[in-house]
Structure 1
Amino acid sequence: MKNSKLFYIALLIVPWLTIPFLGRNAFKKYLPAAIFITTFTKALDLFGEKKKWWRIYKGIPPLDSANFFNFGPYLIASLWILKFTFGKFPLYLISNLILHICFIYLGGLKFLKHYKIASLEKLTKLQYLTIHFLRGLILYGFQYINNFSNTKKHSNK
């Protein structure tokens, strides 16, 4: 892809343009969880690549292509899904599962492979869906604990 640098930069920047619509309070409230899950995902990317579960392509040095996806659309999507569903766990589970099913089975994986971001190697789509589902539980759990600890801090003042 001859415009890959421009594509990677757009992949990173364009999702951030939606932040003003998220609202300052939601951004501050959910950013720690989004950063945590993005960092966790980066560690999982490295582990999965070592185990040859998937392949991560080169990006723009020093970043690999998955960094542009993780710190762009994935981080911002984590903020948005928490904003709309946090505190409504069944809705969160259903929404998260539907989003991941659509991503995995309706073109997201093809998008990643076509634009040389990542591709599955030894994992089936169902195994990959399971990893996404578990990551979703970790994201919600982190936000729940963070929310609980912040509530406790404010009640002790």
Structure 2
Amino acid sequence: MKKINLLQITLLILPWLTVPFLGRSSFKKYVPSAIFICTVTAALDLFGERKKWWRFYKGMSYVKSMNFFNWGPYFVSSLWMLKMTYGKFPLYIISNTILHICFIYLGGLTLLNRYKIASLVKLTKFQYLVIDFIRAIILYGFQCITNNTKKLSNE
């Protein structure tokens, strides 16, 4: 098996090993929002690729390498971020921004490029940070809507 394929499988599976530590109720509470934001991200990935904002390399078979990243670490980190900070919006924004700054400026993007997963083309790191910030707001907003809908249906 090629080194790249092993990395992609690891990116997909390793984060999921932490999911049992979330707890069943937290998983059930936050999984709709995580699915939603990963779906939005997949659509954004396609749009951004057409606009040449970034490039995603071919993964295994016909699956783009970014799907391994999107449905692995990004999905699971969305669950964990909501579990640890939901209901505390300032903490959520600060933590999420720090996480994205670390990923973008301290080596995450470099690793994605080195291992042929993705690379920025026409987008600067700061522009990518702004996109990540907007996605964070969308994730939190969707969770608020989901919570309010559940509260209304229980009344």
Q: Distance in 2 between matches of 1:152 and 1:85?
A: 23
TM-score of the pair, normalised by structure 2 = 0.98
Which residue is equivalent to 1:148? 148
5+ unaligned residues in a row in structure 2: which ranges? none
Matches within 5 A, 1:3-152: 3-152=3-152
The Cα offsets for residues 9-63 of structure 1, whole Å up to 9 and x where unpaired, read as 1110111000110100000000000000001000000000000000000001221
**Any idea what SS the aligned residue of 1:55 has?**
strand
Displacement, 1:6? 1.5
TM-score of the pair, normalised by structure 1 = 0.96
Aligned Cα root-mean-square deviation (Å):
1.0
Misfit runs of 4+, over 3 Å: none
5+ unaligned residues in a row in structure 1: which ranges? none
**Any idea what SS the aligned residue of 2:59 has?**
coil
Q: Distance in 2 between matches of 1:47 and 1:129?
A: 17
Q: Distance in 2 between matches of 1:149 and 1:2?
A: 46
Q: Distance in 2 between matches of 1:9 and 1:96?
A: 25
Report how many residues are paired. Answer: 155
Displacement, 1:153? 0.8
Q: Distance in 1 between matches of 2:94 and 2:5?
A: 35
Displacement, 1:74? 0.2
